[in-house]
Amino acid sequence: MKISIHNWMRAETIEETVNRIAKLGYDSLEIQGSPELYDTKKVKRLLDDAGISCWGSVTLMLELRNLLAKDNKQRADSVQYVKDVVRMVAELDGHMVSVVPSTVGKILPEGKPEEDWKYAVDSMKQVYEYAESVGILLGIEPINRFETYFINRGDQALALAKEVGPKCGVCLDTFHMNIEEDEILPAIRRAKGKLIGFHVADNNRMAPGMGKLDWASIVQTLGEIGYDDVLSVEFCSPLDRTPANPYPNSIDESPKGLSPEQKKFLEDHGSSAVTDEFYTMLTRKSIETLRPLI
């Protein structure tokens, strides 16, 4: 089993990210789903020079991105966006893309359940056909009810994957599972044979080891079901703006290089951007917790 990390959690250049994770001993990067930001040839050289591979990517379903949209053009544009993420990963010699089907932050449905399901299946099939043609696996990711009304649990993601195609799988995330699953370990076991990726953060969405999740049991259960691929670190630390803040140097008051979409995504998930010092601590804590278990 190897250890990867996302790079959407801090406002910084790809060079800064790769330099940090290479020094800390990470095996790969799960690059943020923003293909418009990257020259894949340059990124590939950067990764190769650092001895880091691209594991995959995760879709950033912001603003009008929604595979379930009732509007035909909006839905078509969303399908094209996910295809663009798949293309980016293929050009970086990656393996998978984690797909959140509906808009993050959208908690009220536009249509009836059967309409949502039809649109989701149809849209995912279009992406799946393209992903198959370029050799990239798709994993449908459940996220919690406060971020989407549609796919919240592993069983729901498995049902959608079954409709999409035989190689479509799921990508589970411990933070979301802690909220939505009755029990985490049985939910992992039910994904046996269909687990394409696995995102890790503690129950408080801090780095693994900074909350209450039993990481030894989680990693052991992954081994039991034959998952021997990658653990992708995806913490998104809550930021304390009170005198009780245990990390006084955590908030980056003047982040640079953030697009409006990235800024909103960071604010929605963690309230603000974080400093290099705090982010490095979280990145180090993650690998120090996970490495001995694999």
Which active-site residues does the annotation give? 141, 234
Provide the H-helix boundaries in the chain. Answer: 14-24, 40-50, 72-91, 113-134, 154-164, 174-180, 184-190, 215-224, 260-270, 276-290
Q: Following CA atoms 115, 262, 195, 5 in sequence, which dihedral angle do they give, to the nearest 10 degrees?
A: 180
193 burial (CB, 10 Å; 0-12 / 13-18 / 19+) is exposed
**Collapsed DSSP state (helix, strand, coil) of residue 171:** strand
Q: Distance between CA atoms of 245 and 124, rounded to whole angstroms? A: 42
DSSP state of 67: T
The neighbour count for residue 19, using CB atoms within 10 Å, is 15
Q: Distance between CA atoms of 25 and 173, rounded to whole angstroms? A: 22
Q: What amino acid occupies position 283?
A: T
**Collapsed DSSP state (helix, strand, coil) of residue 17:** helix
The neighbour count for residue 117, using CB atoms within 10 Å, is 16
- CA-closest candidate to residue 8, choices 209, 274, 290, 210: 274
